[in-house]
């Protein structure tokens, strides 16, 4: 398996200036981000929001796969039918107590919300990588990820691969239009005009 260790330069103001931090080799993320998008499509197929996540160790091994389960019943093995049944939380509930969380990378198809981003920080996950920014529901709208005290030890890698960002935006756009207020949908149309056209 590939090693996910990267030399990523932090750019604290990427959100406000529309910049993506430079990455030494963005392709190292591709397989994992593609998996999150596949999980997102599976969620959509069963009536949940199209968001997927995988948790990867320092050796590039996937230790947990999750997807949004808000629209699905809860089971003995899975949190479902609850507002907290986001893809990232699905991953964290599966794993339980994290061993060496600083060596883990959380990959998601969509920028985490405040709950999932906050949980990642509190659990001391070493890196978060997402395929597509969420200009309304993503935590970055309300706080600068790298400026938040709880996130100082977490490396943030937003949207490293433009093709996958486009794919994720197209996948989530109908949900953004359905679930977000007019202001949120306007932010999505501004950020992703091509992907939201005709939705």
**Is 61 noted as a catalytic residue in this protein?**
no
Calpha distance 156→106 (Å, rounded): 10
Q: Pull the structure tokens for residue 92.
A: 């964290």
Contacts for 65 with CB less than 8 Å, ≥ 6 apart: 35, 39, 52, 53, 54, 55, 91
Tell me the angle at which helices 114-122 and 87-95 cross, rounded to the nearest 10 degrees: 30
Calpha distance 61→3 (Å, rounded): 9
Calpha distance 132→163 (Å, rounded): 10
17: enclosing H helix or E strand? helix 14-17
Catalytic residue among 30, 61, 72, 88: 88
- Do the bridges between strand 105-110 and strand 62-67 make them parallel or antiparallel, or are there none, so unpaired? unpaired
Calpha distance 150→4 (Å, rounded): 22
174: enclosing H helix or E strand? helix 162-179
Residues taking part in catalysis: 88
């Amino acid at each position: 398996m590939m090693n996910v260790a990267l030399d990523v330069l932090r750019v604290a103001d990427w959100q406000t200036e529309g910049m993506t931090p430079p990455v030494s080799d963005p392709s190292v993320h591709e397989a994992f981000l593609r998996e999150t998008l596949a999980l997102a499509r599976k969620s959509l197929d069963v009536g949940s929001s199209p968001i997927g996540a995988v948790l990867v160790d320092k050796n590039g091994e996937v230790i947990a796969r999750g997807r949004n389960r808000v629209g699905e019943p809860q089971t003995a093995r899975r949190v479902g039918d609850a507002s907290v049944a986001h893809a990232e939380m699905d991953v964290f509930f599966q794993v339980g107590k994290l061993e060496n969380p600083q060596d883990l990378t959380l990959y998601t198809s969509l920028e985490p919300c405040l709950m999932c981003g906050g949980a990642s920080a509190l659990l001391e996950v070493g890196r978060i990588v997402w395929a597509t920014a969420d200009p309304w529901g993503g935590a970055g709208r309300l706080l600068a990820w790298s400026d938040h005290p709880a996130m100082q030890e977490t490396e943030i890698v937003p949207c490293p691969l433009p093709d996958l960002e486009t794919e994720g935006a197209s996948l989530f756009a109908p949900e953004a239009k359905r679930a977000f207020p007019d202001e949120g949908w306007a932010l999505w149309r501004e950020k992703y005009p091509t992907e939201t056209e005709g939705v």
